[in-house]
Structure 1
Amino acid sequence: MSQNGHSAVLPIELGPTAMVLGELALADGVRFADHEHPTHQIAWASAGVLTVRIGERQWILPPTRALWIPAGCAHQTASLRGAAMRGIYIDAATTKWAEPTLVSVTPLVHHLFDHLTRLSGRDSIAARLRAEAVLFDLLIPTDVTTLRLRWPEDARARVVADTVARQPADQRTLAQLAAEIGIGERTIARSFRTDTGITFGRWRTHLRIAAALPLLADGMAVARVAGRVGYSTPSAFVAAFSREIGVPPGSYFR
């Protein structure tokens, strides 16, 4: 299910304070096409999982993570397993980060989001300003890596990439996948290195990790996730994830 930008659903009408918040329940699979806002945005869901894509980068956001999106930055937003998305918009004159930045949502930050969402225009502007000041101080970037999954431009390599993306657990070798479309393995391998900057093997590892993140965010056990994305043992999955991301999968969303 695709929609246009959601500012029409959550209108942005900043008043005398720097931040406006609203709530929007999203069904599973709802996707907002590329759009941008004249304000900064914090993409966050109090329940469920959001995904945000900006160019080649994708962020998976359970309730413990949020993404700062600078004003004017084109992005796509989607809901996984349904999401209670908060519309958190911030005056573009407010300086925080000039680039998309992943932040931790601690229990205290969560409570402040809730508090500011409940406050209405009848409440004291001074009270809102105090809460906003505390919240801005508590927004701290997380120390995790975000994968950049670049698709190959070569049409033949893209067929292989699309095939693997549809089923990350596919165990066929590059030679087998290339033979299926009548192309030599070396040709496809060269296209992946040229177009994506990495080998096909590492590209498939990145794809599998990207496919694993929504499952991990949804609370699925690491052992089950490993099998779902093509690893024969949980230890092999943990090793690949830790090597590419820098932390084990069980720690990524904590």
Structure 2
Amino acid sequence: MQRPILTPHATGGASPLTTADAEVADLQWWGHDPHSHDAPQLLYAASGSCTVEVEGVEFRADQGTAVWIAAHAEHSARFDDEFVPISVLPAPDRPGPSSACALAIDERLRTLLLRYARVDDFAALGQLIDRIQDAPELAQQEAPLTIPRGRLTGPIAAAFEADPSHDSTLDEWALTLHCSVTSLRRAFLAETGLSFTEWRTRFRVEQAIPLLERGAQVSLVAARVGMTHNGFTNAFRRTLGHTPVAHRAA
């Protein structure tokens, strides 16, 4: 069942922004369906991350990046299990960027976002909105990996979502699903644009990112996603252009 992200403190034009309830216990859902707002929205991740699709374009919000959603733009979101949102709805006279984009969040902006979310600090509000106008737009992010949901591919994707280190081969899956290996390969390519092996590697790398960002050791993360240390390091570098060690230290 759909639940809203936001816990409004005011409606109508009484307050220029709304904040999310920052209690992890309240975040027992995985996202929300397409909808829009009359005002623009800034969505930020106090912890964890989320993927926001705005009119067919996907963006990722995390601790270093917020997603700006223009007024009336239809959008939906998928949340990871650590996601704690902060949502800012500026007043109509502070429109911000005219279209959806990713904005870089520096330490000062993060401090203002967290301060307002915790105590409704309206002194922080004015500074926050002023600084949002000047926050640099980031280059459009690469779209997140497609998670296939087809009759043949869906059970495989679900197994990896439950455990990224899942190690059943396509031959074993073909027996389980009563189909040929060729059918599985074709289904993965058709639904994701990648071979099964490429998809599995990308999936594991993406699952590793939040673990690294929480400070987990690279060797432990590699094992958690079912890869050797060297194999994980090479795959991570190919996918993101830098090593897991560098990502963890950033």
User: So what's the TM-score if we normalise by structure 1?
Assistant: 0.76
Find the aligned partners of 1:115 and 1:25 in 2 and give their Cα distance: 11
Residue 199 (structure 1) aligned with residue 195 (structure 2):
yes
Residue 104 (structure 1) aligned with residue 104 (structure 2):
yes
Q: Please, which of 223, 229, 254 is the counterpart of residue 219 of structure 2?
A: 223
Q: How does 1:170-181 map to 2 (within 5 A)?
A: 170-181=166-177
Higher strand share: 1
Find the aligned partners of 2:112 and 2:197 in 1 and give their Cα distance: 44
Share of identical aligned residues, percent? 20
Equivalent AA in structure 1 for residue 130 of structure 2: A
Aligned residue pairs total 240
Contact residue 237 and residue 244 of structure 2 kept, 8 A: yes
Cα distance per residue 1:49-78 (max 9 Å; x no partner):
2423427957352x3332223332321253
Q: How does 1:91-240 map to 2 (within 5 A)?
A: 91=91, 94-96=95-97, 98-99=99-100, 101-113=101-113, 118-120=120-122, 132-137=129-134, 139-142=135-138, 145-152=141-148, 154-233=150-229, 235-240=230-235
Find the aligned partners of 1:229 and 1:60 in 2 and give their Cα distance: 22
Find the aligned partners of 2:231 and 2:44 in 1 and give their Cα distance: 31
Shift of 1:88: 0.8
CA distance change for structure 1 residues 103 and 239 in 2, over 3 Å: closer, same or farther?
A: farther
SS in 2 for 1:44: strand
Contact residue 8 and residue 19 of structure 2 kept, 8 A: no
SS in 1 for 2:19: strand
Q: Once superposed, what is the RMSD of the aligned Cα atoms?
A: 3.3
Farther off after superposition, 111-120 or 87-96 = 111-120
Equivalent AA in structure 1 for residue 81 of structure 2: L
SS in 1 for 2:178: coil
Contact residue 43 and residue 66 of structure 2 kept, 8 A: yes
Equivalent AA in structure 2 for residue 132 of structure 1: I
Shift of 1:202: 0.9
Contact residue 80 and residue 214 of structure 1 kept, 8 A: no
Contact residue 20 and residue 90 of structure 1 kept, 8 A: yes
Contact residue 241 and residue 249 of structure 1 kept, 8 A: yes
Shift of 1:214: 2.5
Contact residue 109 and residue 128 of structure 2 kept, 8 A: no
Equivalent AA in structure 2 for residue 39 of structure 1: A
Contact residue 60 and residue 217 of structure 1 kept, 8 A: no
Find the aligned partners of 2:67 and 2:180 in 1 and give their Cα distance: 42
Q: How does 1:45-124 map to 2 (within 5 A)?
A: 45-46=45-46, 48-54=47-53, 57=58, 59=60, 61=62, 63-71=63-71, 72-76=73-77, 78=79, 80-81=81-82, 83=84, 85-91=85-91, 94-96=95-97, 98-99=99-100, 101-113=101-113, 118-120=120-122
Contact residue 96 and residue 133 of structure 2 kept, 8 A: no
Higher relative contact order (CA 8 A, sep 6+): 1
CA distance change for structure 1 residues 230 and 147 in 2, over 3 Å: closer, same or farther?
A: farther
Find the aligned partners of 2:200 and 2:45 in 1 and give their Cα distance: 29
CA distance change for structure 1 residues 129 and 230 in 2, over 3 Å: closer, same or farther?
A: same
Cα distance per residue 1:11-54 (max 9 Å; x no partner):
554469xx5243512325532422432222221244x3242342
Contact residue 144 and residue 245 of structure 1 kept, 8 A: no
Runs of 4+ in 1 over 6 A off after TM superposition: none
CA distance change for structure 1 residues 187 and 77 in 2, over 3 Å: closer, same or farther?
A: closer
Find the aligned partners of 1:231 and 1:43 in 2 and give their Cα distance: 33
Cα distance per residue 1:174-233 (max 9 Å; x no partner):
222222222111111011112221111111112112222232233222221111111122
